[in-house]
Amino acid sequence: MVKNGYTDITKRSLAECKRILNDAVINDIISKNVALGIKAPKFPKNERKPLSSIQDKKVFELALKHKYGLFILILRYCGLRPEEAVALTINDIDLNTHKINIDKAVSLAKNQPVKKPTKNLKNRKVPIPDFLFELLKNRLSYCNENQIQYVFTKETDKKSMLTKQALKSHLNSFLNQLNKNSSKEDLITFSYYQLRHSYCTMLYYAGIKIKKAQELMGHSSADMVYDIYTHLDEERENADELINNYISSSILNIDII
């Protein structure tokens, strides 16, 4: 499992082994849990790259007309985690203040979602971009007319939250449509969390300060936002050119004797 990079299943398997052996100790089957000293292997973190401007445009254009597009747009332009978007109810969308209230999420460890607090245990409000307002208004109107509590629901049961499998199916459906006429070299693939990464990148280019970006992203610390902002600063800043420009302008102002 380690060799094949199965991060989650490796950690879960080790935790389950420890639990079984611990139960065996409690029931006097064995005298010691020999797995306690075994630490979960560390896997290199996958770099979540934001969408390129060309990819972003294609995703945006399709999302405006795709049946699962609103979910994609909420993650991309409001920065929600998928498990936060799944838990959204119609009461969380405030059209008067143009805000989305995020005060809960779901656990997707198993297929069926289970409600839980947000990741940092805090509530937050994120702005609804102007272009999303009418789309959300129409969705809320539909939900109210049909007595649907959740903003996003299953195809087979319009009053139930999305499951883990439904999330995968929806993303695959969107990507298949997105890449329908694309060559192998032009295929666009992304995860739900890459859309969130793109949101953070958007905050950077919009001039949002790190502390505010942390608040909007719902992080318990600013470390992750700081890393993204620092990386973007380095990409944006051509040190060689800046240094040479400064030296050149300084020399021009010096009277050479």
pLDDT at 46: 54
Structure tokens, 15: 């935790």
Q: Write the CB contacts of 251 (distance below 8 Å, at least 6 apart in sequence).
A: none
Q: How many CB atoms lie within 10 A of CB 98?
A: 16
What is the sign of the dihedral through the CA atoms of 181, 69, 190 and 174?
negative
Checking if the pLDDT of 255 tops 60, the result is no
Looking at residue 90, what is its pLDDT?
Answer: 97
Are residues 26 and 153 both part of a single domain? Answer: no
Residue 237 covered by a domain: no
Residue 249 within a domain: no
Sort residue 208 into left (φ over 0), alpha (ψ -120 to 50) or beta. Answer: beta
Each residue's pLDDT tens digit, 72-104: 999 999 999 999 999 999 999 999 999 999 999
Q: Would residue 240 count as lying in a domain?
A: no
Evaluate if residue 241 carries a pLDDT over 80: no
pLDDT at 43: 64
Lowest mean pLDDT among 26-30, 73-77, 99-103, 241-245: 241-245
Supply the pTM of this predicted model.
0.76
User: How confident is the model over 181-240, as pLDDT tens digits?
Assistant: 999 888 999 999 999 999 999 999 999 999 999 999 999 888 889 988 888 887 777 767
Question: Does the residue 252 lie in any domain?
Answer: no
Are residues 5 and 111 both part of a single domain?
no
Give the confidence band of 252 by pLDDT, cuts at 50, 70, 90.
low
Neighbours of 114 (CB within 10 A): 11
50 and 198 Cβ atoms separated by less than 8 Å: yes
Which domain range does residue 18 map to? Answer: 1-44
Average pLDDT over residues 11-32: 91
Q: Would 116 be classed as within a structural domain? A: yes
Q: Are 202 and 174 found together in one domain?
A: yes
Number of structural domains (the chain) is 2
Return the higher-pLDDT residue of 251 and 24: 24
Structural domain includes residue 175:
yes
- Mark whether 17 and 59 lie in a shared domain: no
**Residues 86 and 187 placed together within one structural domain of the fold:** yes
Reduce the DSSP state of residue 100 to 3 states and report it: strand
Name the pLDDT band for 253 (thresholds 50, 70, 90): low
Query: The domain that contains 75 carries what CATH number?
Result: 1.10.443.10
Contact at 8 Å (CB) between 106 and 116? yes
- Tell whether 178 and 96 lie within a shared domain: yes
On whether both 29 and 76 belong to a single domain, the answer is no
For residue 102, give both structure tokens: 């995020």
Of 89-98, 107-116, 217-226, 243-252, the range with the highest mean pLDDT is 89-98
Does the pLDDT of residue 131 top 80, yes or no? yes
106 and 152 in a common domain: yes
Q: Judge if 91 and 161 occupy the same domain.
A: yes
Please give the Cα distance from 133 to 116 (Å, whole number): 27
Q: Are 150 and 89 in contact (CB under 8 A)?
A: yes
Q: Could you read off the pLDDT of 133-168 as tens digits, one per residue?
A: 999 999 999 999 999 999 999 988 999 999 999 999
CA 48 to chain centre: 10
> Phi and psi of 109, rounded to 5°?
-60, -35
Paired with 126 in beta bridges are 100
My answer on whether 190 and 160 are in the same domain is yes
Q: Does 213 share its domain with 173?
A: yes
Query: What's the pLDDT band for 249 if we cut at 50, 70, 90?
Result: confident
* Structural domain includes residue 194: yes
